[in-house]
Each structure stands twice: as C-alpha cells, then as structure tokens.
Chains A and B, each alone.
Chain A
Amino acid sequence: MIGIVDYRMGNLFSVSKALERLGANYLISADKKELLNTDALILPGVGSFRDAMDRLPVDTIKEFAETGKPLLGICLGMQLLFETSEENGLTKGLGLLPGSVRRFPGQTKDGGSYKVPHMGWNRLNFVKPSPLLENLKEDYVYFVHSYYVDASNSDVLIAKADYHEQVAAVVGKDHIFGMQFHPEKSSQLGMALLSNFLKMAVEREAVR
C-alpha cells in the first residue's frame, strides 16, 4: 500500500491516477496511523513552501522517514524535504535532506535574462547510480517550478537538468527521494521512474 500525503494542497488526482495505471494500491490520507502503516509514502506538492509547511503533518512524515521505508517528494514535495527555502522569506523545511531551496535568479552572469518559472520539458542528466534510475535511459521530463535546489553543491544529487542554473532534478539519500519535475506528467520516463520507486516498496516488503 502506497500512502499519498493529503495536506489540502496540490493536485493529488494526477499522482493517484498514475499509481492506478501502474497497478499500485494507494490511499490518500492525512491520518498519522494510516500513513505510518503504508509501505511507501509520496509527498506531492503544488503551491507555496510556507503554506505547505503550515499544513503538513510534519511529525508523521519525520516518523515515517525514521522507519526506513521509501519516501518520495514530488515537485514542491521534494523541496519540502530540504532544510530551508527562501520562498516568502526564509522558511524551515523538513530537513530530511541537506541543502536549501532558492529562487531562480532569472538573470545570467553576463546580464541576460531568462524566464521563471522553469516550465516545460527538459532533459535529465543522470549523475550517479540509484535504484530509481535502474534500467532507464536519459530522456525528457516535465518541469514547472520557480524555486530550485542547486545541483552544483548538492551532496544528494542523482540526476540534474540544465536551465541556466544546474537544477537538482532527482535527489536521494538512503530511502528518502525527491523529484523536482512531475513524473506523473512526464510520459514514459516519468512513469518508469515512479515504477522503480514502487518496486523499492515491494522489494522491501518481500525482504521483511
């Protein structure tokens, strides 16, 4: 059973439909007991960092993270895993991964400007092996975000994308993972990444 954290933000529908297509059982909940009983947790996210931190069942997620079961943050959900974000003033995150979230400056070093949000299909560059990337080839995925984690000083980088800045696209440490793009909206590669995440939950269950 996969848990999707419901904190009344974001579009849970597209994540849940993607899980259905992959044949996974899931529940959408904000309830501590229910979420802690699942085999893997997905933290979706759309909206602002501060609002999300205000509404998140923070203790539940931290407790889940301690169980060693796989946890995946998507888009804002990935950003929430880090220590801080500069969105709407400096806000503390869950602190499950080291690093901070900043806004795209929108300006290049040579004085040119570029558009924010980073919106559209961009290519993933795989940086280091991870069970998430098993048997997958680099391809395009769908991003939409104005804040990012800098890939050049990230210790937890698995894959990155290039949008004027080096964007941390897939991150992970032990069993805690994040994807900055929307795997549920990223065609074949997106579905394959989700499928690899689900596999981790199943394999863990089998070992247990």
Chain B
Amino acid sequence: MTLTKRIIPCLDVKEGRVVKGIQFVQLRDAGDPVELARIYDQQGADELVFLDISASVEGRKTMVEVVKAVASELAIPFTVGGGINTLDDMKNILRAGADKVSLNTAAVFNPDLIREGASFFGSQCIVVAIDAKYDNELGTWRVYTHGGRRKTERTVLEWAMEAEKLGAGEILLTSMDSDGEKNGFDLSLTKAVSEAVTIPVIASGGAGKAAHFAEAFIEGKADAALAASIFHYKETSVQEVKNYLRMKGIPVR
C-alpha cells in the first residue's frame, strides 16, 4: 500500500516560545514556533504537533495567536494539545486553524470528552495523547497525567482501547522512560499499543537518529513517529530521516 509513514516534528510551546526538556523537565528555549513550523514544512514534515505547556491563562491566549499564525502559512495538517479541557477549548483551537486537537489529562479524568469531541468534530479531529511509563510491579505500562507528574490507576493498553471505543481518531503515545534520552523509541510499548487498537498510533519519545524511526515503523508497527529536540537542535533533519527510510524501503512522502 502506498500510504506513507509520517514524520512529525513536535513543538512544545510555552508562553509563545518553543522549549524542550529531558524526561519532561529541564526546559531550554528552542526558538520561535512559527519560524520552526515553516522550516519543518520546507524540510518535508508530514504534519506538526504543538503542545501548549503554558502555565498561565495569558500563555494559553498566546497559543491561540500562535495557532492562527501557523495556520496562515502552512499547508500541512497540524495538531494542538495541552490544556484542552472542554468542548469550548477544542472549538477555540480548531477555529484558530488547527486540524486536530490532542487530549491528555482532561480525557483521562473525563473520558466523555473524547466522545463529545468526536461526535461534534469527527474522530479525525480527536487525538488522544497517552504518557506511558513502565510499572515493574504491574508488569505493564501505566498512564500518567499532568505532564507526566501524576501516576494514575489506568494501564496504557486498556486506556488506548477505551479511547478508540469512545471515538479517538489517533493515539499519540509518548514513552516517559525514553523521552529525551535519544536511545530510540520504546518499541515494545509502541508495538503493544499499535496491535491493541485499529486507529493510527504515533510513536513518541526517544528519537536520537534516523535509524530509530525505521525501528518504530518496522518493529514498533507505528503509523507515524514524532520527535522534537533532534530536529530543533539540527542533529538531523526531516529530510535526512526520510532519505534514510526510503533507503530502507519504508514508504515516505
């Protein structure tokens, strides 16, 4: 089939600036979101994800402006997540020009939000983001919320399946164990979730080089892979990653 694997740069946006941390902490400034979006578009990014990690209400308002600015310039899809708690929050972000919204903490505590969003905007608009961390005692991955700060009772596989049933169109799966480490995606996690659901899964957390993307697609069975810092700090480019994947016979745009 000629459906290509997607490479998705992710921009963590705080108060209007792109930042990046390691294992969700130690934030560093990584540039202007609109400028980075433009660069990634030119490099052949298939999509963009913006995660709003602003702490303040002012920061959230800034995000709507950022979304508008990006939407005016780009002709590729983009997803916005972070701080989306209500149907109205979804409306505001989609109206500002986002193509999809990503729900995380709010959906865990109010799963009905997925159903409401999907029935109002369509499943294709609703991405459910899951922050996953392996629990040795439990022998499986647990769902974390609040930007990875809070452990929940839910297991990742069950939550992913429930999210699909509620109408999620896609799962954005971040491995907290691998995030920022650049040692590769968590392949067993990615594969487990990808096989548990029939909607696309975006692997996230741990990309360090082009070969990691190939692993995520082949062993991890991911439909898309997301990365932030290796693109922001120009350790590799979307183009380089795609050239590598093409060489490996993986279909890319």
A interface residues (Cβ-Cβ under 8 A, vs B): 11, 13-14, 17-18, 20-21, 46-48, 76, 106, 113-123, 140, 142-146, 161-164, 182, 184-188, 190-191
**Chain B interface residue bracket vs A:** 20 to 34
**CB < 8 Å neighbour of B123 from A76, A146, A185:** A146
Q: List 22 A-B contacts (CB under 8 A).
A: A11-B99, A13-B94, A13-B97, A47-B120, A48-B122, A106-B198, A115-B199, A117-B124, A117-B169, A119-B169, A120-B4, A120-B46, A120-B224, A121-B46, A123-B2, A140-B4, A144-B77, A146-B124, A162-B2, A163-B1, A163-B2, A164-B1
| Contact status A115-B121, CB under 8 Å | no
Q: Which A residues touch B96, using CB under 8 A?
A: 13
Interface stretch among B68-76, B139-147, B152-160, B207-215? B68-76
| Contact status B97-A17, CB under 8 Å | yes
| Contact status B97-A122, CB under 8 Å | no
Q: Which B residues touch A161, using CB under 8 A?
A: 2
| Contact status B200-A46, CB under 8 Å | no
In the docked arrangement, what's the CA distance between A142 and B77, Å?
8
Q: Which B residues touch A182, using CB under 8 A?
A: 77
In the docked arrangement, what's the CA distance between A13 and B80, Å?
15
Interface of chain B, main secondary structure? loop
**Interface mask (B211-253 → A, CB under 8 Å = 1, otherwise 0):** 0000000000001100000000000000000000000000001
Count chain B CB atoms within 10 A of each CB in A46, A164, A191 and give the residue with the most: A46
| Contact status B2-A11, CB under 8 Å | no
In the docked arrangement, what's the CA distance between A102 and B79, Å?
27
Known contacts A115-B200, A121-B253; A46 and B3 CB within 8 A of each other: no
Q: Which B residues touch A20, using CB under 8 A?
A: 72
**Interface mask (B98-119 → A, CB under 8 Å = 1, otherwise 0):** 0100000000000000000001
List the B residue with the shortest CB-CB distance to A143: B3
The answer to whether the Cβ of B125 comes within 8 Å of any Cβ in the partner chain is: yes
Within 8 A of A (CB), among B191-214: 198-200
| Contact status A186-B99, CB under 8 Å | no
Q: How far is the CB of B69 from chain A (nearest CB, A)?
A: 11
Q: Which A residues touch B97, using CB under 8 A?
A: 11, 13-14, 17
| Contact status A190-B75, CB under 8 Å | yes
| Contact status B3-A17, CB under 8 Å | no
In the docked arrangement, what's the CA distance between A126 and B107, Å?
42
| Contact status B4-A145, CB under 8 Å | no
| Contact status B75-A184, CB under 8 Å | yes
In the docked arrangement, what's the CA distance between A162 and B122, Å?
23
The answer to whether the Cβ of B170 comes within 8 Å of any Cβ in the partner chain is: yes
**CB < 8 Å neighbour of B122 from A13, A47, A113:** A47
In the docked arrangement, what's the CA distance between A75 and B71, Å?
19
